[in-house]
Amino acid sequence: MTVGVLGGGQLGRMLALSGYPLGLSFLCLDPAVDAPAGQVAPLLRGAFTDTRLLRRLARRCEVVTFDWENVSVATLRSAMRGSGARLAPPLPALATGQDRVAEKRLFERLGIPTTRWQAVDSRDDLERALRRVGLPGVLKTRRLGYDGKGQAVVRDAPAAAAAWERLGGVPLLYEEWVPFDCEVSIIGARRRSGEIAVYPLCGNIHSGGVLRLTRAPWGAPRLQRLAAGHLRRMLEHFRYSGVLTIEFFVRGGRLLANELAPRVHNSGHWTIEGAVTSQFENHLRAILDLPLGSTAALGHAAMINFIGHMPARTALLSRPGLHLHDYGKQPRPGRKIGHCCLVETTAARRDARVRRLLAELAVGITLP
């Protein structure tokens, strides 16, 4: 059975690596010759907007999934038509995940608390949004934003003007700045037959809008129940198949949804070594409507992202129990090129090791 993957990044690569033991084959599509998934699976090279290429992919696969959200929904719909392949996760979830305004509306409709926000399409809209939502806030592009790209923090009127200069011209969204206590994400899988499995909550630290560290399990059981309830509602709403992620800000014990990702997620990489079944394997099980694997944690895990610079392999591998994932990418400033993961028997031991590692590897963040 062949799974088509739109996008041949590290997520596609980890999907393929987790699918081979299940007897699956993979075919990825990516514009880059050196796409990380191309080192482990056959790659069709070309643009995500190339309907003929997408059709070729769909005809050669039983199911098509994606590791990258910014694929044209219209192109995908037309390529899938009559191909005989199924698309999973469903197209409406992809469309929602591409548009921050659609995301906010859906959070509100499903009773999932989110930040105060306003759509901004003109300078007048921005003035209105500043009055209604208040300062400070964040101006974000509605589409094509990820890892903090396409955003500007607005602390006062001159900053609002500068943000408009930089981002204006495309549809935007303005939302309140949340002085959060921490950030968390919840990841879970649903298969067509309705079975759902949810992972322990992840505690995430970002820097410059990019995820740097995830620790899981994280937070009080009450927060886990709350987040899992929100995720289940979202999964049911879409009659979803595959893995879905929701990111939240935590403030005073409350969850405020920030965004959803209809795919496996960077904050779930710890599940490869830290959970009974990884998010990648569960995504494949879910899109193929196979029984889901246990999402239970095997201990207290931490995942550290390597951004722009890969520490020396020997230095990493000489540490007992430290697992290295090198995505085979050329290092560039700001680029995610790998991660490492450790699993300890207690949260205190894990945090002590993480503190030491962060200092020794000079990855640019410290633990509070």
Q: Which residues bind ligand AMP (CB under 6 A)?
A: 115, 138, 145, 148, 175, 177-178, 183, 206, 209, 247, 258-259
Task: Tell me the DSSP string of 162-178.
Answer: HHHHHHTTS-EEEEE--
Phi, psi of 43 (to 5 degrees): -130, 130
Least distance (Å) from ligand AMP to the CB of residue 62?
32
Largest CA distance in the chain: 58
**By C-beta, is 83 or 118 nearer to ligand AMP?**
118
**By C-beta, is 267 or 277 nearer to ligand AMP?**
267
Least distance (Å) from ligand AMP to the CB of residue 206?
4
**By C-beta, is 26 or 249 nearer to ligand AMP?**
249
Least distance (Å) from ligand AMP to the CB of residue 300?
22
Least distance (Å) from ligand AMP to the CB of residue 88?
24
**By C-beta, is 63 or 261 nearer to ligand AMP?**
261
Q: How many helices (H) and strands (E) does the chain have?
A: 12, 18
Note the Cα 156 to chain centre separation in Å: 31
Least distance (Å) from ligand AMP to the CB of residue 163?
13
Integer Cα distance of 69 and 97 in angstroms: 7
Q: Which distant-in-sequence residues (6+ apart) come within 8 Å of 105 by Cβ?
A: none
**Residue 157 tokens, joined:** 């009127």
**By C-beta, is 194 or 208 nearer to ligand AMP?**
208
Per-residue b/e over 334-348, b at no fewer than 16 CB within 10 Å?
A: eebbbbbbbbbeebe
**By C-beta, is 79 or 223 nearer to ligand AMP?**
223
**By C-beta, is 212 or 323 nearer to ligand AMP?**
212
CB 228 within 8 A of CB 198: yes
Least distance (Å) from ligand AMP to the CB of residue 148?
4
Least distance (Å) from ligand AMP to the CB of residue 16?
26
* Closest alpha carbon to 123 in 162, 156, 176, 76: 162
**By C-beta, is 87 or 173 nearer to ligand AMP?**
173
CB 175 within 8 A of CB 133: yes
Query: Is residue 111 classed as helix, strand or coil in its secondary structure?
Result: coil
Query: Is residue 246 classed as helix, strand or coil in its secondary structure?
Result: strand
**Residue 329 tokens, joined:** 């990418």
Least distance (Å) from ligand AMP to the CB of residue 73?
20
**Residue 123 tokens, joined:** 């300078």
Query: Is residue 259 classed as helix, strand or coil in its secondary structure?
Result: strand
**Residue 257 tokens, joined:** 């949804």
